[in-house]
Structure 1
Amino acid sequence: MTPRTELGALARRYDLVIVGGGITGAGILREAVRSGARVLLVEAADFASGTSSASSKLVHGGLRYLKNGQWRLTLESVRERQRLLEEAPGLVDPQPFLMPIYADRKPGRWLMQIGLRIYDAMAGVRRSHWMTREALLAAEPCLDERHLLGAMAYEDARTDDARLVLRLIFEAVAEGATALNYVRAELCQTSGRVRGVRLHDEIRGTVREIDAELVINATGAWAGQLPGAPDGAPRLRPLRGSHLVLPLQRLPLRHAVSWLHPQDGRPVFAYPWEGAVVYGTTDLDHREDLAALRITSAELDYLLAGLSRQFPRLRITAADALSTYAGVRPVIDSGKANPSAESRESALWSSPGLVGITGGKLTTFRTTAREVLRAAARQLPQLAPGADRPVFTSAMVPATQQRLYGRLGIAAAGAFLQEIPGDELQPVGDTPYSWGELRWAARHEAVVHLDDLLLRRTRLGLVSAHGGEAWLMRILDICREELGWDADRCTAEAQRYRALWRARHAPPA
C-alpha cells in the first residue's frame, strides 16, 4: 500500500463505499474487490483502531457457545478457524489450550470431554485429550495444585487482530480497492435513497462528496451513530471486554490456560502472545461514551482475583502488568439479564442505497462478508459473491520467515526483504518486532500518528514496559526519515502517544 491518499485523488463515483475499517469492513472490502467493482473503504480513525484491535486475539470456535445452544455459530466458527490456520500461517497459528480439572470446582472432566468431542467433530479433526496431573504440572508448574486431577487439552488458534485487518485491507488495495484512514463519513440522501457519502479528512480538513451505487455501514458498535443514516440499525448492547498484558517472566506459560472465575463462573484465560501474556476477559455493559474505553478498577480487581485463584504462588499484582486494553463488542441486545448469554450472531438490515451489518465475531469475518455481499447484490447485482475462494494465499517459506510472510502477505514480505537493510532485521529489545518492520510500516502502511505504528502496525505499545518509551527516540528518527516529520511534529506525536497510552493502556494504580 502506498502512503495515505488525499480526498482530491479519489474518483467521483464508486460502485461500493464501505464505512468502517475494522474486521467486518476489511473482510467485505477483500471480497468485494474480487467482483471487479470499484470499491472505497473509509475509516474515521485508524484502521482496526476500535474493537478489532482490542479483542482477545483468539481465532476460536466458541466452545462456550455450545453451552448456550448456539450450534450453528460454533460450527461456522470452527470451520472458519480451520480455514484460516491453513491459509494464513504466521498470522493465524495453532494455540494449545489446557483446562485444569479440580475435584472441588467446576467444570467436571466428563462434561468437558463431551463438549470437546463435539467441538472436534465439528472441526473434523481430533485435538482434545485428557492430560494427567503429573503431565500437567510438568507442562505448567505454576498452576494451583490443590485438589488438581488433571486437565482437558484442546486446540484453538491465536492471531494479531490488528494485523489481520491490515493484511485484508492492504491486499485488497493491491488488487485495485481504495482505503483511507482518518476520514469521517456522513451519508447523503436524495428522495429517501442513500446516494453517496460526504467525506471529511480529519488530517487535512478537506471535505468532498462521493457518489456511490451502494453504501455499507460496517461501523460495528457505532452502527447507530453514522450521520445521515436512515433508521433500521438494531439496538446494540455494547459489552466491554478488558485485558491485562503481563510479562512472560511473571506468568511463564507455555500453553493457554482456561478456567472458570471463582466469582461468577465465567471462563477466563491466559496465554502467550507476541512475547508477553494476554489475560482476560471481562464481559460488562459499557454505558459510557464509546470513545472512553479503558479498564476499570473493579475489572482489575476481578481479573487479579482470577489469577490469584489459578496461580496463587505467583502473587501477581497490578504493578506487574505491562499494559491493559479494553474493547467493546457490538452485541445485539435481546434483553437478557446476563451479558455473557447474549448471542454473538451478526445482524443485517437494508434500505435503498444502504446495507448495514453489525455484531458477529473476528473468526467469522469471511462468512459475514459474503452474507453482506449477497444482501448488497439485491440492489447491485454485480456484487454477488462468486465462487468461495481462499481469503489469503500462503507460501512455503523457511520457518524463520513464516511470521513475516503471515503478517505482511507474500508480495509485501518479498518486497520487505529486498528493501529493508539487513541490520534492521534485528528485534526491538526482546520483542518479536524488528526495526525493519517499523520502517516498512512508516513507508508503506498509511501511518499518520505514532500510535498507529506502536499500537496497530506493531504492538510494541502493549508488550513493552511503559509503552515502549525506551525506544521512542529511535522510532521517531524512522518517522522523520520516512514520513518527513520535523522536530516539532516529532515532539507533538510523542506527547500525543504518551497521553493516549496513559489514558487507555497504563495499568490503574
Structure 2
Amino acid sequence: MTAWNAAWRQQALPELAAQSWDLLVIGGGINGAGILREAARQGFKCLLLEQRDFAFGTSSRSSKMVHGGLRYIAKGGWRLTRDAVRERERLLKEAPGLIEPLPYLMPHYRYKIPGRFIFGALLTLYDLFAKKSRHHYCNPQQLTLLAPGINHERLTGGTCFFDAGVDDARLVLRVLDEGREDGGEALNGVQVLELLRENGRVVGVKAKDSENGETFELRSQMVALATGAWADRLAGGKGEQHIRPLRGSHIVLPGWRLPVAYSFTCMHPDDGRPVFIFPWEGATVIGTTDLDHQDNLDNEARITQAELNYLLKLCTHQFPQADIVAEDLLSSFAGVRPVISSGQAGKRPSDESREHALWTEPGAVTLAGGKLTTFRLLAREVLKACAAQMGRPLQLTDAPVFSAAPPVSSQKLSSEQSRRLAARHGRNFPRLLELIAEIGSERIGSTDCIWAELALAAERELVLHLDDLLLRRTRLGLLLAEGARAWLVRIRALCQPRLGWDDDRWQHEQFRWLALWRQYYSLPSTKESA
C-alpha cells in the first residue's frame, strides 16, 4: 500500500489536478468524508479537497458523542432523533472500539426540570427507536454510589440511559480511509477559492495549494460542498446568509481530578441549558456552550473568559466537593456548529433547529447543517442529488460503512487494546502491529495513545504540520499538559525522520505549535497575557 504522506501528496497533487473527475467533494469533515466514502463505493471517480486539515473544524471539536439528540424530541424533531438513534445503533455494531456505548446519568432535583416522569417518557420513545430498553431510575442512595460527590441538595434521584462516545477526528480518518480503499482520493492543504461556472453551470473549482501558494483548476461533472460553517462562501454565489455559526466550547480536566464513569447531563443553574460532564480518552471533559460566533471563520475558534466561567460554575454546582478551578485544567477547545438560521430575530442559539438542508444549483450540491451521527444518511442524500443531475443510476445497499479489520493479533496487546486499535486504524492495523513489534506498546503519559500510533500517523496519515499530528491524528495536544511540551523531545526523535523534516523544519513546526496551543487551546488568561 502506497504511503499516504506529504511526499506522496507533493507528487500526486499535480497529477490529480490534471484529471477530470465525476465528483469533487469540498470539505474534509465527517460529512465530506462520508460523501467520498459513498461515492467511491458507487464507482464515482471522486476527489476530496480540504483547505486546512481533515477534521480541522467542527469534526474534531464536537462533544465526542454519537447520540440521537434526546432533547430534539421535546422540540418536535422526532424524525431527526429517530434517524440518529438508528444510525447510532448501526455504528455501535459496525465499529466497536471506535464507537463505544457510553452510560449517561441525568440527576433530578425537586422543583427542577426535567422531572423523573417526563424524562422517563422521553426515554421510552428514545428506546423504541432503538428497539431496546436501556434506561432505568436510580433513587438518591443508588445515585450517590454511582456519582460520589454529586450535589445532594433537593436531589430526588436520577435516570441512567445510554448513548455512545467517539474520538471524532479518528472517525473522520477511518471513513476517509474507507473511501480511499474503494478508489477515492483525498488531499488536505488545498483551499477552494471559487467555483468555476460555464453557461450557468458549475464545472469545477479554482484551488490553491496552501503549502506553496500555487493555484490550479480542477474540472468535474459535479461538485459536492460539505464545508460546514463556511457553506455560505461558495454556495450559490449570491452573498445570502444561510448559516448561523454557533460556538461550542469545552474544557478538559485530568481524569484523576474529577473521575466520572458516566456522562452527566446537568442543567446549568443560570439558564437551564443541558451541559455534559463526561469521560473521554482518560480525561474528563465539560461542555458545551452555545453562543453566536462573531469572529472570523478563518481563525480558529477559542474559548472566552465568560465561557470558561460558565463551565466552571456548572462543575462547581454539580460537584461542589471537587472544588475544580481553572488551574486544574489541561486544555480547552472550541468549535463552530454550522446551524441553519431560521432568520427569526432574538431566537436563542439553543432553540435553532439542528436539521440539515441541501442547496442545489446546476453542477453543485451544498450540504448545510446536520449531525455527526447521521453522516451516512446525509452523504447518501447528497449523492442522490448529484446523481440525479448527472443522470447516473445508483445501486445503494445497506452495506456497512466500515470494512472489517484484518484478522491479525499481537502478544504485546491486550484483547481490549487490539479491538481499539483495529477499529481506529482499519487497514493500517497490520503496519501498526509491525511498529509495535519495533517500538513497543508503551502508552504516552496518562493517555491511551501508544507511541506506535504516532509513528504510524507520521508515516501514513498525511500529516503536513505538527498540529495535525498532536490534535487530530492523536489527541495528545489536548490530553497532556501545555500541549505535550514535556514530551516533544521524544516525539521529535520518533517522528521527525518519518515526516521527512530537517532540523530547521522541526524547530519551525514546534515553535508554531506551541504558539498555536497557547492562543487557541489553553485558557483565556494565558492567551490574553501572551
Does the TM-score normalized on the shorter chain lie above 0.5? yes
SS in 2 for 1:378: helix
Stretch deviating more after TM superposition (377-386 or 346-355)? 377-386
Tell me, yes or no, if structure 1 residue 443 matches structure 2 residue 459. yes
Structure 1 segment 183-332 matched on structure 2, within 5 A:
183-185=190-192, 186-226=194-234, 230-231=237-238, 235-290=242-297, 291-332=299-340
Stretch deviating more after TM superposition (373-382 or 338-347)? 373-382
What amino acid does structure 1 have at the position aligned with 2:424? R
Deviations 1:444-467 (A, max 9, x none): 000000000000000000111111
Q: 1:47 to 1:269 in 2, by over 3 A?
A: same
Deviations 1:269-324 (A, max 9, x none): 11110010111011111112122410111111111111111011111111111100
Stretch deviating more after TM superposition (467-476 or 198-207)? 198-207
Q: 1:454 aligns with which of 470, 474, 492?
A: 470
Identity of aligned residues (%): 50
Structure 1 segment 66-465 matched on structure 2, within 5 A:
66-185=73-192, 186-226=194-234, 230-231=237-238, 235-290=242-297, 291-336=299-344, 337-382=347-392, 384=394, 386-394=396-404, 398-409=415-426, 411-465=427-481
Shift of 1:377: 1.1
Contact 1:374 1:385 in 2 (8 A): no
Q: 2:498 aligns with which of 478, 482, 496?
A: 482
TM value normalised by structure 1: 0.97
Q: Partner residue of 1:470?
A: 486
Tell me, yes or no, if structure 1 residue 34 matches structure 2 residue 41. yes
What amino acid does structure 2 have at the position aligned with 1:473? V
SS in 1 for 2:54: coil
Stretch deviating more after TM superposition (288-297 or 323-332)? 288-297
Q: 2:5 aligns with which of 3, 6, 12?
A: 3
Stretch deviating more after TM superposition (383-392 or 339-348)? 383-392
Q: Partner residue of 1:502?
A: 518
Contact 1:233 1:356 in 2 (8 A): no
SS in 2 for 1:245: strand
Structure 2: which 5+ residue stretches go unaligned?
A: 410-414, 526-530
| CA distance, structure 2, for counterparts of residue 493 and residue 331 of structure 1 | 34
Q: Partner residue of 2:528?
A: none
Deviations 1:344-398 (A, max 9, x none): 1111011111111110000000000001011111112336352121101345873
| CA distance, structure 2, for counterparts of residue 150 and residue 13 of structure 1 | 61
SS in 1 for 2:306: helix
TM value normalised by structure 2: 0.93
Deviations 1:229-261 (A, max 9, x none): 534876111111010111111111111111111
Shift of 1:419: 4.0
What amino acid does structure 1 have at the position aligned with 2:63? S
Contact 1:35 1:382 in 2 (8 A): no
Contact 1:234 1:347 in 2 (8 A): no
Shift of 1:421: 3.1
Deviations 1:451-507 (A, max 9, x none): 000000000001111111111111122232101111111110001100111111002
Shift of 1:508: 2.2
Contact 2:178 2:403 in 1 (8 A): no
Question: What number of residue pairs does the alignment pair up?
Answer: 507
C-alpha RMSD of the superposition? 1.6
SS in 1 for 2:440: helix
What amino acid does structure 1 have at the position aligned with 2:442? Q
Tell me, yes or no, if structure 1 residue 23 matches structure 2 residue 43. no
Shift of 1:75: 0.3
SS in 1 for 2:354: coil
| CA distance, structure 2, for counterparts of residue 231 and residue 508 of structure 1 | 37
SS in 1 for 2:296: coil
SS in 2 for 1:204: coil
Contact 2:435 2:455 in 1 (8 A): no
Stretch deviating more after TM superposition (462-471 or 196-205)? 196-205
| CA distance, structure 1, for counterparts of residue 240 and residue 397 of structure 2 | 29
Tell me, yes or no, if structure 1 residue 12 matches structure 2 residue 22. no
What amino acid does structure 2 have at the position aligned with 1:2? W
SS in 2 for 1:125: coil
| CA distance, structure 2, for counterparts of residue 348 and residue 424 of structure 1 | 47
What amino acid does structure 2 have at the position aligned with 1:24? N
| CA distance, structure 2, for counterparts of residue 51 and residue 430 of structure 1 | 26
Shift of 1:106: 2.3
SS in 2 for 1:49: coil
Deviations 1:188-229 (A, max 9, x none): 111211111122111133222211011111111001113x85
| CA distance, structure 2, for counterparts of residue 496 and residue 249 of structure 1 | 30
Tell me, yes or no, if structure 1 residue 65 matches structure 2 residue 72. yes
| CA distance, structure 2, for counterparts of residue 129 and residue 393 of structure 1 | 34
Contact 1:32 1:385 in 2 (8 A): no
